Amino acid sequence: MPGKKLSVVVTRRLPDPVETRMSELFNVKLREDDVPLSKDALVSAMKEADVLVPAITDSIDAAMLAQAGEKLKLIANYGAGVDHIDVATARQRGILVSNTPDVMTDDTADMTLALILGVTRRVAEGMRMAQSGEWKGWAPTAMLGGRIAGRRLGILGMGRIGQAVARRAAAFGMQVHYHNRKQLRPEIEDALDATYWDSLDQMASRVDILSINCPHTPSTFHLMNARRLKLMKPGAVIVNTSRGEVIDENALTRMLRAGELAGAGLDVFERGHEINPRLKELPNVILLPHMGSATTEGRIEMGEKVLINIKTFADGHRPPDLVTPSMV
């Protein structure tokens, strides 16, 4: 669409540098507040825009796309994950979908290690004790956690983030194991010193810490179900910085309450921001508000990718981060 100043609607507040540049390049409608749009408001936005810039909080299904009209030509998602968008239906209607891959890798991997350390060393429990005034001083057997060096880390999903977690874990002296749809190439596997398990059941039963780093797809929904969680050691820890739907949260909560797992560190939840109340009561759990990728640098880089995708499309070319149905 060269020569035309595109109409762009943004569904959430973005970092100031991103919004400023977007205003310079396009005819953009920005948000004054920062709450998710209703379905009706999203449909209205799609009707008036050449380009919609949604976020993970915006669920765009086939029924909504059917109401979008003929104007919308690109959904430039602010984020790497696109499971909240019906990509296949969008493409059928001639609407391209782009995302922002390879930006959050290091930030999310850092948070994964933070949760591993936080749970095994009981950081949240220690903070609560110190801040509440309950702490009465040092004692030889007080607040004993565990050393992560020498422990077996199982990584479920060995994509970019999983590999970044593996590199960090190796620096802490952990033994890296992984389960993935496909085994890594030998040179990558050797560089990571990682052991591949074709069977998730067999890996889950052997590791001390399990890190969830796979996307949410129909095949990964409740991949860590009650049966599989029960295969894990009673002293094992589970960490999730990927998608909450991969774990059966009710089953996980029951096992943590029963002492059948040692702890959990969760940045994502099965029902979005609605967290199981019983999970909140547990002292051996760290709960975070989906902040694995929340760095200033990362959020600006995500916005820059959105800008590049829209600008490339405006110049009549294929967006560099185009998503196809086969990728979802």
Looking at residue 5, what is its pLDDT?
87
Q: Tell me if 7-103+295-327 shares its fold with 105-287.
A: yes
Whether the pLDDT of residue 255 is over 80: the answer is yes
Burial 196-234 (b: 16+ CB within 10 A, else e): ebeebeebbbbbbbbbbbbbbeeebeebbeeebbeebbe
User: pLDDT-based confidence at 328, cuts 50/70/90?
Assistant: low
Looking at residue 217, what is its pLDDT?
87
CATH code linked to domain 105-287: 3.40.50.720
- Token output for 43: 């449909």
Instruction: Look at the pTM and tell me if it is higher than 0.85.
Output: yes
Question: What are the sequence ranges of the domains in the chain?
Answer: 7-103+295-327, 105-287
Query: pLDDT of 45-81, one tens digit each?
Result: 999 999 999 999 999 999 999 999 899 999 999 999 8
Whether the pLDDT of residue 327 is over 90: the answer is no
The helix-helix angle for 105-120 and 123-132 (nearest 10°) equals 70
Looking at residue 250, what is its pLDDT?
97
- Close Cβ partners of 182 (under 8 Å, ≥ 6 residues apart): none
- Token output for 82: 């696109």
Query: pLDDT of 162-206, one tens digit each?
Result: 999 999 999 999 999 999 999 999 999 999 999 999 999 999 999
Q: Which amino acid is at 223?
A: L
End-to-end CA distance of the chain: 26
Question: Residue holding tokens 């009706």?
Answer: 40
Mean pLDDT for the chain overall: 95
Provide the phi-psi class of 222: left if phi over 0, else alpha when psi is between -120 and 50, else beta. Answer: left
Over residues 303-314, the mean pLDDT reads 97
Whether the pLDDT of residue 212 is over 90: the answer is yes
d(CA 175, CA 63): 47
d(CA 57, CA 53): 12
Long-range contacts from 82-85, C-beta under 8 angstroms, 24+ separation: 82/323, 82/328, 83/215, 83/216, 83/217, 83/243, 83/328, 84/54, 84/56, 84/57, 84/58, 84/59, 84/60, 85/54, 85/60
Looking at residue 3, what is its pLDDT?
57
d(CA 270, CA 105): 21
Whether the pLDDT of residue 326 is over 80: the answer is no
3 state SS for 159-180: CHHHHHHHHHHHHCCCEEEEEC
* Cβ proximity of 54 and 9 under 8 Å: no
Query: pLDDT of 103-117, one tens digit each?
Result: 999 999 999 999 999
Whether the pLDDT of residue 324 is over 60: the answer is yes
- Token output for 206: 């052997």
Over residues 287-294, the mean pLDDT reads 96
Looking at residue 175, what is its pLDDT?
98
User: pLDDT-based confidence at 325, cuts 50/70/90?
Assistant: confident
Domain 7-103+295-327: give its CATH superfamily. NAD(P)-binding Rossmann-like Domain (3.40.50.720)
d(CA 298, CA 275): 26
Looking at residue 2, what is its pLDDT?
52
